[in-house]
Amino acid sequence: MNPIGTHGLVCLGDEEYAAIALAERHNAAVVDSTVQADLAALAKYNARPYVRATLNANASGIAQSLSDWIPGNNLPGQNLFNGAFSISRIATAGISFSGANTVFSLWRQGWWMVGGYATYQCTGAVTNLSRRTLGIQWYHTVNGVTLYEANLNTSYESNTGTDAMTVQGMFYADGVHSYGADLVFAHRNSGSTMQVNSNARLWMFYLGSGVTI
């Protein structure tokens, strides 16, 4: 029998017909294991985790935040998902949810696409041209020290006091530590507090391991 290709298949030479059964059994086993492994890998890829949190009620009474974000630190502003929220999920084994200060926590190694969306309004006087910031905060704790990354978006209110914003980012989980994701709103409307309306959303999708091809 002669080896063929890269998967361990064999073929017979002429006059080797006595070994047909042996060769067919060998090739059948090779095909069986190769296809099974490929299908398992593709099924896992096809069922990549997705999760979305939706704010159930308005987050009101948000006071202005005077500080800017210092890279590496906690985002100033209000974590929108410290109240009640609902979850939509697909293939989210390994992801847990908390209403305390973290919406998602996860352990799966790889790169995650994270996005957020919110509509918001002033509850009273509008400070013209004051800043609104919507940020995704991604963090984990190592030896008691919490490390923060963030992606943020900014807009400046003109005069109506009502607006909407999206924000996106791409973040890495090392597969060893638990990572959290928050959606944080901050503003500088000094004339009144602000409210983020219900249905603000934070979503997360697994992109891949990041292993080099």
Partner 1 sequence: MSDTCTPIYGLPYPIGTSRPCEVGATSCAFAEAVDTVLDSIDAVVARTATTVAMAKVAATIPVVFDSVANFSIPATFDTVLVDTDAMFSADVDASLITVNTAGLYLILCSALCDTTGVSGNQLGIAPGAFINPSAFSWLSSTVVNQNVQATAGLDIYATAMGVFPLAAGTTIGLRVNPYCTGSDLVTVFYSELAAIWLGDL
What does the binding site for partner 1 look like in residue numbers (CB under 8 A)? 2, 4-7, 9-17, 20, 23, 27, 31, 34-35, 38, 41-42, 44-45, 68-69, 71, 111, 113, 128-131, 133, 135, 151-156, 166-170, 172, 188, 207-213
Name the minimum Å distance from CB 211 to partner 1: 4
For partner 1, give the closer residue by CB, 51 or 165: 165
Q: Where are the beta strands (DSSP E) in 28-178?
A: 50-55, 59-62, 78-79, 85-90, 95-97, 104-106, 110-122, 131-142, 145-156, 162-173
Cβ of residue 187: shortest distance to partner 1, in angstroms?
11
Nearer to partner 1, 5 or 144 (CB): 5
User: Which positions ≥6 away from 142 have C-beta within 8 Å?
Assistant: 177
Smallest distance, partner 1 to C-beta of residue 26, A: 10
- Of 111 and 148, the one with the shorter C-beta distance to partner 1 is 111
Nearest distance, CB of residue 31 and partner 1, angstroms: 6
How far apart are alpha carbons 66 and 60 in whole angstroms?
18
- Beta-bridge partner residues of 51: 89, 204
